[in-house]
Structure 1
Amino acid sequence: MGHDEPPQHQVVANDLRRRLTSGEWEVGTKLPSRAQLAHEYAVGTNVMQKAQERLIIEGLLEGRAGSGTYVAKPRERRRMIRSRHRERRGTSPFRTDMAELGHTGTWEAHSQARTPAPADIAWRLGIDPGDLCVKTNYEFLADSQPAQLSVSWEPMAITGKTPIVLPEMGPLAGRGVVERMRSIGIDITTALEVPRPARATQEQANLLGISIGDLVLVIERTYYDTDGRAVETADITVPDTRWEVAYEFGIEPPR
């Protein structure tokens, strides 16, 4: 096999994917045994196992212990609407978003105070590289299943001497950036979001339950107060296989 050729298991997975999407096997159908398929493709059973594992991760196949491999019910791709209204509900925007879709939204978070801002984050926040921030890593869950990731940065010059210095501790834990900042007299009036397609890193794939290299949408979001000062910036990672991101804009009526 040449250096530019894909590995055998990827070739097999691609062809199995083609057969599945063409409807050769209906949802719920048991596939031929791994040995039978390996013989059909003239590959080893270990190659066939890796190919099927890839399709199981993608949600096309379902492995049942002691029974075999079956065609899985297609995963539902839900629409995640991002709107200015999601910041006016007095609670976590994510939790309310999920509730509107019939899911229970929860999250896990880990904050690190006094983290020096790297150059790109400092530029987004309008501070100097190395200025101290609180960095918070979030794993957002819908019905206990991974939904999205976020890495948030807040300048300690703004929150360092206040009760909200740690986003998930204190009197407004879990209430979202807008509510927390409002509690210390800072009104957020603008959110700038820059969505960019990307491929999942190994860490992102592990946390989201997808494969390395899968398509994700990374939303670079920055919040600004009434003076145009950036008070928080975050990178939000959404797996494309599960969520379609839509933006809602209000149209002012004619005067």
Structure 2
Amino acid sequence: MPSAERDYLRIADLLRQRIRAGEWQLGERLPSRAKLALEYNVKATKLQKAQELLISEGLLESYAGSGTFLREPPVRRRMYRSLHPELHNPAPFRLDIGEVTEGSGWESQTRSRVRAGERLAARLGIEPGADTVHTTYEFLIGGRPTQLAESWEPMAITGSSRVVFPDLGPYSGQGVVARMAAIGVTVDRVVEHPRPDRATQSQANMLGIPVHDLLTVIERTYYDVNGRAVETADLVIPDSRWEITYELPIGRQQP
């Protein structure tokens, strides 16, 4: 076995021993990689590789910009997807997670005039190259990202209105249905297409999960009464943290 591989495996084993000895409590942040690398007299890249191995084993979790933590036993929450109108507010993330702790909610970033590629254009029913408003979301519980999303809206619909940015203005956080209603557009239905996927390196870094961990990606599109797509989004949901439940109405039978 090459010495470089032995080094990171040795460091991983030393970290395991410290974890088992109770040096850090569940949920506690470990010392920085730079500090641990100095302690073990190795390059930071080797220390990172050792930690990535322990993340894949479920002992640690790492959040981009926040550090590496001793992983707490994952709590698998139930996420409800429902056709009831009251469940669309606020959107795209409804706090249907039981008790809401401090630091729960979402952070978002929006860019306008993002040109639609062919696949996105097909989802929105617009011409490739047409301008969209693109918003990325990180949904937080206890201050840590627990779900991701990206949404796109045609600028031809909202571009000259006061609701052009989903995360700014008087209708910030009100959701697609309320924002569209404010400019005279009635949303009639939503279509969701769930599919399994595996976490990329970027998604794993954001969510604090192992690379290639199982995800559910929901492709969601809102349509108005004329069948026009007004928003489409990809919801990225870690399977280890969320159980997805769909609630569907049944038409009542006449006696």
TM-score range, shorter chain: 0.7 to 0.9
Match in the other structure for 2:150:
151
What 5-or-longer segments of structure 1 have no aligned partner?
Answer: 2-6, 17-27, 32-45, 63-70
1:91/1:216 Cα in 2 relative to 1: closer, same or farther (>3 Å)? closer
- State the distance in 2 between where 1:109 and 1:61 align: 26
Q: Secondary structure at the match of 1:94?
A: coil
In structure 2, what residue type is equivalent to 1:30? A
Stretch moving more, 88-97 or 183-192: 88-97
CA distance in 2 between counterparts of 1:78 and 1:144 reads 16
Instruction: Give the 4+ runs in structure 1 shifted more than 6 A.
Output: 7-12, 46-49
Mapped partners of 2:134, 2:48: distance in 1: 40
Counterpart of 2:238, as a letter, is: P
Which structure is higher in RCO with an 8 Å CA cutoff and minimum separation 6?
2
| Superposition map of 1:215-230 within 5 A | 215-230=214-229
Deviations 1:48-82 (A, max 9, x none): 995665344664469xxxxxxxx965221111111
* SS of residue in 2 equivalent to 1:124: helix
* C-alpha distance in 2 between matches for 1:52 and 1:74: 18
Paired residues for 1:92-241 under 5 Å: 92=91, 94-98=93-97, 100-103=98-101, 105-241=104-240
**Cα root mean square deviation, aligned:** 3.5
Deviation string, structure 1 residues 75-101 (Cα, Å, up to 9, x no partner): 211111111226556534624323x45
Distance 2:80 2:217 in 1: 15
State the 1:242 CA deviation: 1.1
CA distance in 2, matches of 1:83, 1:8: 51
Q: Kindly tell me: are residues 10 and 232 of structure 1, through their superposed partners in 2, closer, same or farther at Cα, counting changes over 3 Å?
A: farther
Aligned-pair identity in percent equals 50
Name the TM-score, length of structure 2 as normaliser: 0.73
Q: Secondary structure at the match of 2:84?
A: helix
**Conserved in 2, the CA contact under 8 Å of 1:87 and 1:93?**
no
Q: TM-score normalised to the size of structure 1? A: 0.73
SS in 2 for 1:97: coil
Match of 2:21 in 1: 30
Structure 2 residues not aligned, in runs of 5+: 14-18, 23-41, 62-69
Q: Distance in 1 between matches of 2:47 and 2:172?
A: 48
Q: Counterparts of 2:91 and 2:113 in 1: how far apart (Å)?
A: 25
Query: How many positions carry a matched residue from both structures?
Result: 221
